[in-house]
Amino acid sequence: MLLLLLLSASSSTMASNSKETGIRADTSTLEYVHSIWRHGDRTPAELLSLEDIRKWPEGIGELTEEGAAQQYRLGKWLRRRYGEWLGDFRRDTIYIRSSDYNRTLMSAMANMAGLFPPKRPLTPGINWQPIPVHTRPKATDKELYEDAKCPMAELEMSKQWKSKKADGIRKKYARELAFFAEKLNLKNMELKVTWAIYDNFFCEQQHNIPWPKWMNSTLFSRVTDLYNEVSQLDFHTETLRRLRGGTLLEEILNRFKDKINGNLGENAKFYAYSAHDSTIAALLATFGIFYEIYPKYATCLLVEMHKLQNETRIIRVFHKNETDIDRLIEYSIPGCSPPCTLQKLLEDLSRYFPSDWETECGLTSNFEFVYLVIIFGLLTATICSSTMFLLEKYKKKQKFSGEDTVPMLNVDDSD
Ligand SMILES: *[C@@H]1O[C@H](CO)[C@@H](O)[C@H](O)[C@H]1NC(C)=O
Ligand SMILES: *[C@@H]1O[C@H](CO)[C@@H](O)[C@H](O)[C@H]1NC(C)=O
Ligand SMILES: *[C@@H]1O[C@H](CO)[C@@H](O)[C@H](O)[C@H]1NC(C)=O
Ligand SMILES: *[C@@H]1O[C@H](CO)[C@@H](O)[C@H](O)[C@H]1NC(C)=O
């Protein structure tokens, strides 16, 4: 009896966590959408052996033709869901931001070709119109680049690698880990590198590139499980949710507030992030939705804000969680049963908003700050005095030459 209760309890929490829903959005109340997708099919992000480079003419970690096609289809699917509501391309309606990788930038462009076909061909035969895609440098992209330098998050991650959970995985897959260490000639078979093993064999499988004799589908399915279990070490702690997922969640929820306050303008409707598996995983985890399968190619998370008749704003989270599939699921956000208001979500989740990310990451400790101020002061003094010196010299020279305008510090910026 107890067992039965436990079983039904666990299955009911699973079921209440997500349910299948229709493809068409409920546009009667829809006010604003955030869409976060993973790039399409790519070549391995890191090779197991340098010789493997021959297998991948596109280069490493690059979008393939198939990947671009997946994104184009995702764009067409987004048109089915939002098309009538979104209308034709308008500069003040949408904003597309990509991480600074060829594969995510190209994915964004392919997706937009599917979402916004032109009303008439741009020029005969070209059924495409340009849509702006924005990006920012990787090093400062704390919303979309989960590897952005953050010492505190790295420390937390190193604790994860030493955790009981990690040890459990090491034990469970001891045979496979030893096997790969031997076959790949790795001295230390760290759990950290198992994703690269999965990634390489997965990419080869997708592209019909034959595996070595010792690899087969039975072993690959074990590697897939290993990969998914190891992925669950990421983003699952309070610190990692705050430092890795919190940055993007904060931006998204704040943008909803901006929409309500009129700061985005009347016509703003759709903001898309073209990013990575880790972006989706970190965001989900910060919502409190813990994935079992790591996000796949060209899958897409949709965070919608709806305005009810009494002006209350509610948030709904949808996931197109398989590549090229029509099925869409809706999550119920833990701790915020539907109708989940923006207000409640902000109350619950603002604890994951890093108020000063750089400082919390340990990037600017007070000591370093003082140090920087001193260096900056010294530099300014040096530059000022040497400029004065040069200026004096120049003035003297000018007296003799009588030339009109010779710029002092002429920097050639013609490139
Ligand atoms: C993009 O592609 C170029 C050309 O292949 C390559 O040099 C560069 O490293 C790639 N950049 C990124 C960020 O993927
Ligand atoms: C798959 O490969 C492993 C390792 O090479 C081997 O031990 C196993 O017998 C193979 N299984 C099948 C079904 O071929
Ligand atoms: C997608 O969601 C369905 C329904 O919850 C689930 O059965 C399936 O395993 C999920 N797939 C992935 C890749 O997460
Ligand atoms: C607004 O309407 C929703 C749905 O009918 C309801 O659940 C909610 O309590 C209402 N809120 C207010 C402030 O009236």
Ligand that lies nearest to the alpha carbon of residue 222, given by its number in the listed order: 2
Transcribe 23-58 into DSSP letters.
SS--TTTEEEEEEEEE--SB--SS-SSGGGGGG-TT
Q: Is residue 92 very low, low, confident or very high in pLDDT (cuts 50, 70, 90)?
A: very high
The DSSP 8-state label assigned to residue 276 in this structure reads: -
Q: What is the pLDDT of residues 239-256, one digit of tens each?
A: 999 999 999 999 999 999
Residue 241 falls inside a structural domain:
no
Ligand 3 pocket test: pick from 224, 293, 330 the residue with the most ligand atoms within 8 Å of its Cβ: 293
Write out the two tokens for 9: 């309890």
pLDDT of residue 373 exceeding 80, the answer is no
Q: What total of structural domains would you count in the chain?
A: 2
138 CA: nearest ligand 1 atom: 13
Q: Is 123 helix (H, G, I), strand (E, B) or coil?
A: strand
Please check the confidence at residue 412 and state whether its pLDDT lies above 60: no
Q: Is the pLDDT of residue 44 over 70?
A: yes
Q: What's the pLDDT score for residue 146?
A: 82
Ligand 3 touching residue 329 (CB < 6 A):
yes
Residue 135, domain member (yes or no): yes
Kindly give the distance from the C-alpha atom of residue 87 to the centroid of ligand 4, in angstroms, as a whole number: 29
What average pLDDT does range 318-346 have in this prediction?
A: 96
Q: How far is the CA of 322 from the centre of ligand 3 (A)?
A: 7
Token pair of 16 as six digits: 């209440």
Categorize the per-residue pLDDT at 279 as very low, low, confident or very high, splitting at 50, 70 and 90. Answer: very high
The pLDDT value given to residue 389: 55
Regarding the beta carbon of 18 and ligand 3, being less than 6 Å apart is answered yes
Q: What pLDDT digit, counting tens, does each position of 48-68 carry?
A: 988 999 999 999 999 999 999
Whole-angstrom distance, CA of residue 51 vs CA of residue 13:
47
- Residue 353's contacts (CB-CB under 8 Å, 6 or more residues apart) are 242, 246, 249, 250
> What is the Å distance from ligand 1's center to 52 Cα?
18
What integer is the mean pLDDT of 126-131?
Answer: 94
Which tokens belong to 183?
A: 């076959």
120 and 44 co-located in one domain: yes
Do 30 and 109 fall into the same domain? yes
The secondary structure of residue 412, as a DSSP letter, is -
**142/168 same-domain check:** no
Most confident of 6-20, 139-153, 300-314, 375-389: 300-314
Say if CB 293 and CB 232 are below 8 A apart. no
Q: What is the mean pLDDT of residues 142-148?
A: 89
Question: What confidence score (pLDDT) does residue 220 get?
Answer: 98
Residue 382 counted as domain residue: no
In this structure, the answer to whether residues 200 and 263 fall within a common structural domain is no
Same structural domain, 298 and 336: yes
Is residue 9 included in any domain, yes or no?
Answer: no
Residues 317, 168 within the same domain: no
Q: Among 359, 387, 405, where does a domain finish?
A: 359
The arithmetic mean of pLDDT across residues 67-91, rounded, is 97
Pick from 307, 308, 311 the residue to mutate for probing ligand 4's pocket: most ligand atoms within 8 Å of its CB: 308
Please tell me the distance from the alpha carbon of residue 91 to that of residue 128, in angstroms, as a whole number: 16
Identify which of 306, 307, 312, 340 to mutate to test ligand 4's pocket (most ligand atoms within 8 A of the CB): 312
Shared domain for 140 and 267, answered yes or no, is yes
Structural domain includes residue 289: yes
Q: How far is the centre of ligand 1, averaged over its atoms, from the C-alpha of 99 (Å)? A: 13
- Whether 196 is covered by a domain: the verdict is yes
Task: Give the pLDDT band of residue 376 (cuts 50, 70, 90).
Answer: low
Return the closest-CA partner of residue 63 out of 205, 224, 294, 276.
Answer: 276
Residue 181 Cβ contacting ligand 3 at under 6 Å: no
Query: How confident is the model over 121-134, as a mean pLDDT?
Result: 93
Query: Taking the CA of residue 69 as centre, how many other CA atoms within 13 Å lie in the half-sphere pointing to its CB?
Result: 4
Give this prediction's pTM: 0.85
Per-residue burial over 378-413, b = 16 or more CB atoms within 10 Å of its CB, e = otherwise:
eeeeeeeeeeeeeeeeeeeeeeeeeeeeeeeeeeee
Ligand 3 closest atom vs CA 291: 14
Identify the domain boundary among 340, 359, 378: 359
Sheet containing 94-98: give its strands across: 18-21, 328-331, 313-320, 300-307, 30-38, 270-275, 94-98, 134-135
Alpha carbon distance 55, 158 (integer Å): 33
Say if residue 30 is in the same domain as residue 133: yes
Same domain as 109, residue 185: no
Q: What is the CATH number of the domain that holds 314?
A: 3.40.50.1240
- Please give the mean pLDDT across all residues of the chain: 88
- β-partners of residue 300 are 37, 320
* Residues 171 and 269 grouped into a single domain: no
pLDDT band at 382 (very low <50, low <70, confident <90, very high): low
Retrieve residue 80's tokens: 């089915």
Based on the fold, state whether residues 142 and 272 are members of the same structural domain. Answer: yes
Q: How far is the CA of 325 from the centre of ligand 1 (A)?
A: 30
Write down the residue that tokens 């899958």 correspond to.
299
Q: Where is the domain boundary, 177, 199, 232?
A: 232
User: Residue 294: phi, psi to the nearest 5?
Assistant: -70, 145
Residue 339, preceding peptide bond in cis (omega within 30° of 0): yes
Could you give phi then psi for residue 98, rounded to 5 degrees?
A: -120, 155
Query: Does any domain span residue 323?
Result: yes
Does 91 reside within a domain? yes
Q: pLDDT class for 109, splitting at 50, 70, 90?
A: very high
Predicted confidence at residue 306, as pLDDT, reads: 98
Which among 344, 231, 235, 340 is positioned nearest to 292, based on CA atoms? Answer: 231
Report pLDDT for 15. Answer: 37
Helices and strands counted in the chain (H then E) = 14, 8
Please name the residue whose Cα sits nearest to atom 3 of ligand 1. 102
Q: Which domain holds residue 225?
A: 164-232
Dihedral pair phi/psi, residue 37, rounded to 5°: -120, 160
Q: Using CB atoms within 10 A of its CB, is residue 107 exposed (0-12), middle (13-18) or buried (19+)?
A: buried
Distance CA 69, CA 187 (A): 39
pLDDT level of residue 188 (50, 70, 90 thresholds): confident
Model confidence at 177, in pLDDT bands (50, 70, 90)?
Answer: very high
pLDDT at residue 377 in the model: 59
Question: From atom 2 of ligand 4, which residue's Cα is the shortest distance away?
Answer: 310
Please check the confidence at residue 303 and state whether its pLDDT lies above 90: yes
Is there a single domain that holds both residue 188 and residue 257? no
Provide φ and ψ at 33, rounded to 5°: -125, 135
